[in-house]
Structure 1
Amino acid sequence: MPTDSHRDISLKPRILIADDSRIVRATLIKRIEGMFEFREALDGEQAWEMLLIDPSIRVVISDLTMPKLDGYGLLKRIRSSKIGRIRNMPVVVVSGSDEQAERDRAKAAGATDLITKGMSTGQLLSRLDILSKLISTQNEFERGLEALVQHVDTDEHVALLSPEVWQEQAEGMRASAVRQNRNFVVLTACIGLKHVELDAYPALPPPTVINAIGQLLHRTVRQTDCVARTGEIEFTIATGSIHFDSARNFAERVCRAIAHANLIKDGQMALIASCGVVSISEYADDAAEIEGSLAQMRVKAKDRALLGLQNAITGVIGTQEELLLKQGGHLSEADINTIDPAQSGEVDLSIDLATLLRWIKEGKEDQVLAHIGKLSTELQPLVDLLLKQYKV
């Protein structure tokens, strides 16, 4: 009989390290072995075989240059896999340089993150921990959806706010955000069915599926947020005091979990989950417009969600995605994953200092300058303290 300590060890997240250099593999293992289990692969082909046979792997760390199958080839196989747990696997690319061109190419190929070989152990462990928890959360979300849909009666009441109560609570959140110069985001998720051979969705999902999704959203959002079913295939969430990229990440995980859960038994049909996202920062240049923007935000979020749904896109539709689609461009799910919210016109009013420092290191001075004025009030007490300390 295994002891509790043995069970705890076996429950450590498992990392797959793919690199043809024995020294690099040994170095990475030494840095992570206290917190993670690991498997080693000498090339991309071996890594792919391990992913197929080992469902306990949570994150892949991969070199870009390997024999037989390089890192880009491995990424392509992972992102095009028909197996959900592999297709959604976080992949961290290891690079010897920190050049933006290589980072952009890796991201475009489907890399979740890119780290340099000189990254500190603390940073590496922190990133791997976050990624392993994210994939575990998404897997739990999918399993929860599958379990819920088996027990939800089509007539069962879903414990969500009415649109009227949602409007009242969201307006209070929006007003508070304006007063405190904080961010406020409206997310609208629309659910549809797509035939594998068609470009657009042809049908509505079964009521049991919609009800199950509503119940799980109600359990998933923070207590400080509010969610309502605002249409036959539509849910709307209001969230405040959250970074815009965090709201996008939440919406992305919800969309992926809904689409990849085993809720539709017809092998020719697939769920589409498209989420329109609108931030109050889109109206930040006009104080008068902010005061009356909640209704506009709801309409805009719904329009974006429906635009994504009509184009059979599972993922988040924000300012940049909306512009591309309305111009007749094509957006794949990989394209959506590579769009940087900080470059899309959706500026986060509550951006933190850690993010600003990271942007400075990445050479994004223009983005940092866009937030200096908004942070001056919060930083002033710190400046005053420093002046007092050194009696300047």
Structure 2
Amino acid sequence: MEDDENNIPRILTVDDSRVMRRAMTKVLGKAYHVIEAEHGEDAWTYLTNDPDIQVVFTDLSMPYLDGFGLLERMRESDEDHLREMPVIIITGKEDDDETKQRALDKGASDFITKPFDSIQLQARAKAHVNFEQTTRKLSETSDKLQQQAAIDQVTGLSGQTYFCRAADESLAYFKRHGGQFTLLRMDIDNFNALFIANGKPLADKILQQIGKTLTHLVRKEDMLARIGLAKFAMLLRDTPIEDATRLAERICQEINALSFDAGGQQLHVTVSIGLFEPHLNEDSEIHALIAETEKYLDKAIEAGGNQMVVKSLRKGGGGAEHLDVQQALKLLAEGKEDLLKPHLGSLIRQVMPLLNYIGQQSTDDMARAIQALKEKLEK
């Protein structure tokens, strides 16, 4: 009998309302061992002393340590199972989209709104317990590194831990034997707002389709991972920045072509991309290289999203960030001319073949103007 009890999944409910805690225990208690905590500090004590807890349901507004603080502690923990444990936020009518956005930013897995019915609560518990159990089994295999590659149950891609370890191994190889790679970081634009407006089922469907799209586009020798809620990373082996840029353009196009049914309306998503081709040396460190790539992703997002920013430190690459003509036209339309100034030389080179053709088909005056522009560029 004791063995049967030990096999029952354990769920932690955190709410300063005893009535709410009792109601959740009544609904979930038949299938799960429910542990009740009055506030975040109590919950943290349970979590750090009971490694068998699999899912957390928590309110946001509580004394001593609120739901945001509990989320933050869990996601910053040194313990893998606490960083990855599903956390479902219990929201009330007074919680607006900004509050939910903040919870997502801190690592919330899902939401459930009060008052909730028993079927809804049981369905959320079952889904997240199954997810946690699958993740735990994978992490307990003897070949952890290989199994972590399949740890993301939503997209089927590798996870952040695997990506960083494998990328570090690739960096060590290139340091010893030579070669180069390009890093790519991609975020789905405005994903948190989409999640809040449409719910987890549609959000998961979007992530699944994007995962399939990326898997189709990336070569087997490259590395691809989902490293956050709507965050993806790639390491493209022996891929010069020009080829990586073409791949990124195709990724943007194919993802934007996807269509999702959102309550009878067709929804399309866009992505922002940062590309970085580093100059590798003995001091290169993978976390620093990924952080550098994040800078160019941030610039793409700050410029309005649905575009990419590229940086190459490869010898002969000029070390300049790359902006394509389509992105430049978008910035002009948005009145962001100042953002174009660092890219004028690159943009001129991109349109030069077209200008040459126009010059061949135009008057002498036009041909002379284009030739003067080419000579100025060469200086």
Pick the TM interval, shorter chain. 0.3 to 0.5
Greater gyration radius = 2
Higher RCO (C-alpha 8 Å, min separation 6): 1
Q: TM-score, normalised by structure 1?
A: 0.45
